[in-house]
Every structure is written in C-alpha cells, then in structure tokens.
Amino acid sequence: MNEIVFKTDGEGILVRFYQMIENVIHQGHGSVALVFLIGVIFGGIVQYTRVDKFEKIAGFAMLKDTIVPKMLFLAVGLSSIGIYFMAEHGFAHLHIKPIVLPGLIIGGIMFGISMAILGKCPGTGPVSIAEGRVDVLVGAIGGLFGGLLFTLFYDDIFKPLQGESLGTGILPDLFQGNEQLSVLIFGAVVTLIAILIPKLEMEDELEDNDSLR
C-alpha cells in the first residue's frame, strides 16, 4: 500500500480539511473523468431502482421492503470478490480501518436510527438532493453540522467514547493458506442470500394517487 504523505502541517478544522483532500489525491483513485463517470453510473442505478425513495429505506427498517437489503447483499457479495482480487493484482488498494467495538456499536445504532427517520443513506441522499428534495437537503446540512461537532470535540469526547482499538484485519486473514477460497465462498454465500431474500415492496401512497389522476 502506498504511504500517504501530508504536506499540510498543523492543527485545526481547515488543516484537517486540506489533509483530507491530500489523502484522496495521494490514494490514486484515477482521473477526475473516471471518478465522474462512476458517479454518473451510480446515480443512474439509484434512480433506476428508486432506492433513494423514503419508502425503500424506511420500509427496510420496518421489514416491509426488501429491495435495499437485496441490493446490499448482492453488492457486498460481488464486490468482495472483485475488490479482493483487484487488490491482489495491484488494481485497487485495501484501506482497512481498526476495529473499535464501542464506537462501532454506538455509531451503528445512531446511523440506523437516523437513516430510518430521514429515509435516506449517505449514498442515496445526494441523488435525492439532485432531484430537489428539500427534506434531504435539510438532513444533509444537519449532517455537516454533526461532522463539525465531531471534529471540534473529537479529542475530548468522541475519541475516548470509541474505546480501544482491537487492531485491523480482514476475513481471509483467518484462513491462512486458503485466502482466495474463503473470499470466493463468502462472496458466493452473500450473493445467494441476496437472491433468496423474498421481494417485498412498500408502495408510495402519494405517488400511486398521482398516477391515478
């Protein structure tokens, strides 16, 4: 993995912002045109599947709509295989984060509750904003303020709250000598789960009423 070198030194919000940009630049994600193209394709898929609708995310939280979990399991199953073998051949880089259980548990609960209330996730939110949905824009602004508070009080509050790191690791590390096979089995099982999940959809009553007029 290429070492990331920060050219901007110091402390403060602006410094961290510049360091974030430098981090992305040095990771070598490809040209701006390629990143833009991937974004367009992603937005098109979200639009086509309509997973940016409130009913899809909220319905998932209430177990009344399974389109989102089917897509998530399918994406995880296929991408886990693709990304692992791409990384093995130098076409991608694995940026493995440390395991901090308290932070993951607390953050996961907050993330799930917030996603169910807003009816969006960080991936579908920008698509909804592009559609002109003001409620999602308000939620995004709230998220920015939340990120600001996290940055300002990270050292004093949030870092201790996260707990101790248990180190980094990925699933293939548990199967020394059979890493590739473990990835293939994991990807196949998760993909199979996506196929076996029954298809349920929670209808948008307002949209249905408009279509009848």
Read off the pLDDT of residues 33-80 as tens digits, 9 standing for 90 and up: 777 888 888 888 888 878 888 888 888 888 888 888 898 899 999 999
CA-angle at 78, arms to 110 and 127, nearest 5°: 50
- Asked, for residue 2, whether it belongs to a domain, the answer is no
pTM as predicted:
0.70
- Asked, for residue 127, whether it belongs to a domain, the answer is yes
- Asked, for residue 30, whether it belongs to a domain, the answer is yes
Query: What are the phi and psi torsion angles at 135 (to 5°)?
Result: -60, -40
- Asked, for residue 4, whether it belongs to a domain, the answer is no
- Asked, for residue 7, whether it belongs to a domain, the answer is no
Place of tokens 């602006």: 14
- Asked, for residue 183, whether it belongs to a domain, the answer is yes
User: Which residue range(s) make up the domain with 34?
Assistant: 13-200
Six-digit token string for 58: 């909220």
Six-digit token string for 178: 């059979």
Six-digit token string for 146: 């939340």
Q: Which residue has better confidence, 10 or 29?
A: 10
How many structural domains comprise the chain? 1
The residues, any chain, with a CB within 8 Å of residue 69's CB and separated by 6 or more, are: 60, 194, 197
Residue 172: burial class (beta carbons within 10 Å; 0-12, 13-18, 19+): middle
Distances (CA, A) of 20 to 27, 39, 110, 123, 185: 11, 20, 24, 19, 35
- Asked, for residue 23, whether it belongs to a domain, the answer is yes
- Asked, for residue 211, whether it belongs to a domain, the answer is no
Q: What is the pLDDT of residues 106-165, one digit of tens each?
A: 889 988 888 888 888 888 888 888 888 888 899 889 988 998 898 888 888 888 888 888
Which of 75, 84, 91 lies closest to 42 in space, CA to CA?
Answer: 75
pLDDT given at position 213: 38
